[in-house]
Amino acid sequence: MAWRNTSTFAVLRETTLREQQVELPVAVDRSSPTPLVVQVGDQLRAAMRDGALRAGERLPSSRGLAGLLGVSRTVVTEAYQQLYAEGWLDGRHGSGTYVADVHAVEAASPAEPGTSADTDFYPPLHAPDAGLVDLRPGRPWVMAYDTAAWRRAWRAAGDLPMSAWPDLYGDPMLREALADHLRRARAVPAGPGNVLITRGTGNGLDLLAATLLKPGDRVGVEEPGYRSARRIFASRGAEIVPCPVDADGLVVDDLPAGLRMIYTTPAHQFPTGGRLPIPRRERLLAWARATGALVVEDDYDAEFRYDVAPLPALYGLGPEQVVLLGTLSKSLSPDVGVGWLVAGRPLLDQIARTRKELADRTSGPVQRAVAVLLDRGDLDRHLRRMRLEYARRREAVVAALGPWTKGDTAGLHVLAELPEHVVPEVVAGARERGVLVDTTVRHHHGPPRVHGLVVGYGSAALHDVRHGCGIVRSLLDHALQEPQLLTGTGHL
């Protein structure tokens, strides 16, 4: 990389575990639009990938590197944290930060003989995907949050006294702030008395299932759809009933009889990407009123939409028939562990009693910190920034995979619908070239009816999204031979 005179440059020498001296070239260019954190991280990652830094070698301390580069320690700390998360670095208590054995990690990722191809491109969660471009869905970009705002929120939360008896409904300050946020952002007519704070969507689903379901109750889940929802309902004894989707989302006119509840993702159906139109939402609510079934609305990806007007939440159209679930895992970080469940007060009281029986709770200090983020407008500002950031990545995906993309008007993933025989070849080829993608196969309850790639663009940097999608496109061109003739398979 060529650097102008405006760059600063440091060659750092550190003693390693092998007592070797390592020259580490790191530069920052303040005239570049690339954030300093990304610059430092990219250069360190390149040095480890190219072998300039080897496994076991010690990196400078964050304070030392920051001083030599003339940047804040936060810049280096965040770069290190991202490299830790990607598996490039290994921390050893009391002795510093070291380069991880990347090759050992990569060697452990492929599936063992006899396992499904799905395991190959979706390695165990505890094994970091070192050096790979991760285009799997469900993961947000966590490097762009406002660290100063987060620190202010934690300081403010720390000034509040601890509670000996945590509120089963959640912190009152957060419930009030969330009710106001949902009213403004999602047209949800709910007050604090309709909001219960959870640890996330999965926790909310489990509390709901534990409260309302009896063994053998029939629960409809979109097909294909969110696998974790199926597993949570099944763990509470429910019979899972697959309910087909099309390009617009849940097919309401074909809903089976005898359902106790129906789980749906109307804002951005997972994984096909459909947005349930208003007429179909109204028919779903009419069906719920007629049958007495409960609609469980997972407001998945509602925060991020592109080139389209927002659609009101189902809860806003029929609060008597709907329970609304949401989470900060995509808008902020899964690490926060805060979500919400919005329902009528009688049902909320039932869920609170279940929570008490299960000794279930959400961290009080974390709730207070999130309440401060909302109260000061910091979360709204973060969401506005991330909409722009994700819009750029979405454009890169569509530019590369345009003929096959579906469901790109919202969220952090698209569906590339393909002929069934093409998918394994593309997935394997991408994995060999260092790109991870998901498929629709594992998101079905029964035999797959939709085939293709589920391409996420939340957790990879923009240049990695472009690079990874370029590889996927070249593999598609080769596998299909005449891609200009293919505009979709017609399933959705």
- DSSP readout, 312-339? PPHHHH-TTTEEEEEESTTTT-GGG--E
What is the token pair recorded at 13?
A: 């020498």
Residue 120 C-beta-side C-alpha neighbours within 13 Å: 18
Res. 246 pLDDT band, cuts 50 70 90: very high
**In percent, how much of the chain has pLDDT > 70?**
84
Residues whose CB is less than 8 angstroms from the CB of residue 60 and which lie 6 or more positions away in sequence, other chains included: 12, 14, 24, 68
Write down the pTM of the prediction.
Answer: 0.72
pLDDT of residue 21: 37
Q: Is 111 exposed, middle or buried (0-12, 13-18, 19+ CB in 10 A)?
A: middle
If you average pLDDT over each of 241-245, 309-313, 387-391, which comes out highest? Answer: 241-245
Q: Pick the range with the lowest mean pLDDT from 19-28, 159-168, 257-266.
A: 19-28
Backbone φ and ψ for 32, nearest 5 degrees, come out as -80, 145
SS3 state at 198: strand
Pick the CATH number of 8-105 from 3.40.50.1220, 3.40.50.1820, 1.10.10.10, 3.40.50.620: 1.10.10.10
Res. 215 pLDDT band, cuts 50 70 90: very high
Contact 297, 266 (CB under 8 A): yes
Q: CB under 8 Å, gap of 24 or more: what pairs does 80-86 form?
A: 82/37, 82/41, 82/143, 83/41, 83/44, 83/45, 85/128, 85/142, 86/45, 86/128, 86/129, 86/130, 86/131
SS3 state at 294: strand
Residue 383 CA to residue 405 CA, distance in Å, equals 24
pLDDT of residue 41: 82
Res. 240 pLDDT band, cuts 50 70 90: very high
Amino acid at 115: T
The Cα diameter of the chain in Å comes to 75
Beta strand ranges found along 321-408 (DSSP E):
322-327, 339-342, 405-406
Domain ranges of the chain: 8-105, 109-138+380-485, 148-376
In this predicted structure, the answer to whether residue 5 has a pLDDT above a threshold of 50 is no
The domain 109-138+380-485 having CATH identifier 3.10.450.50: the answer here is no
What is the distance in angstroms between the CA of the first residue and the CA of the last residue of the chain? 45
Contact 443, 227 (CB under 8 A): yes
Mean pLDDT value across the chain: 83
In this predicted structure, the answer to whether residue 438 has a pLDDT above a threshold of 70 is yes
Q: Which residue has the higher pLDDT, 23 or 354?
A: 354
The domain 148-376 having CATH identifier 3.40.640.10: the answer here is yes
Res. 140 pLDDT band, cuts 50 70 90: confident
Res. 233 pLDDT band, cuts 50 70 90: very high
DSSP state of 204: H
Contact 96, 61 (CB under 8 A): yes
- Express each pLDDT in 31-57 by its tens digit: 877 778 778 888 888 888 777 788 888
Q: Name residue, tokens 């961290």.
A: 363
pLDDT of residue 85: 54
Residues whose CB is less than 8 angstroms from the CB of residue 125 and which lie 6 or more positions away in sequence, other chains included: none
pLDDT of residue 2: 39
- Express each pLDDT in 285-314 by its tens digit: 999 999 999 999 999 888 888 877 778 899
Q: Which residue has the higher pLDDT, 163 or 414?
A: 414
pLDDT of residue 125: 38
What is the token pair recorded at 218?
A: 């029939």
pLDDT of residue 219: 97
The number of residues in the chain equals 492
pLDDT of residue 86: 59
- Express each pLDDT in 14-33 by its tens digit: 333 333 435 566 888 888 77
Q: How far from chain centre, in Å, is Cα 176?
A: 25
- Express each pLDDT in 75-114 by its tens digit: 787 788 767 655 677 765 456 788 876 544 333 333 332 3
**In percent, how much of the chain has pLDDT > 90?**
54
Helices (H), 199-313: 201-212, 227-235, 278-291
pLDDT of residue 273: 93
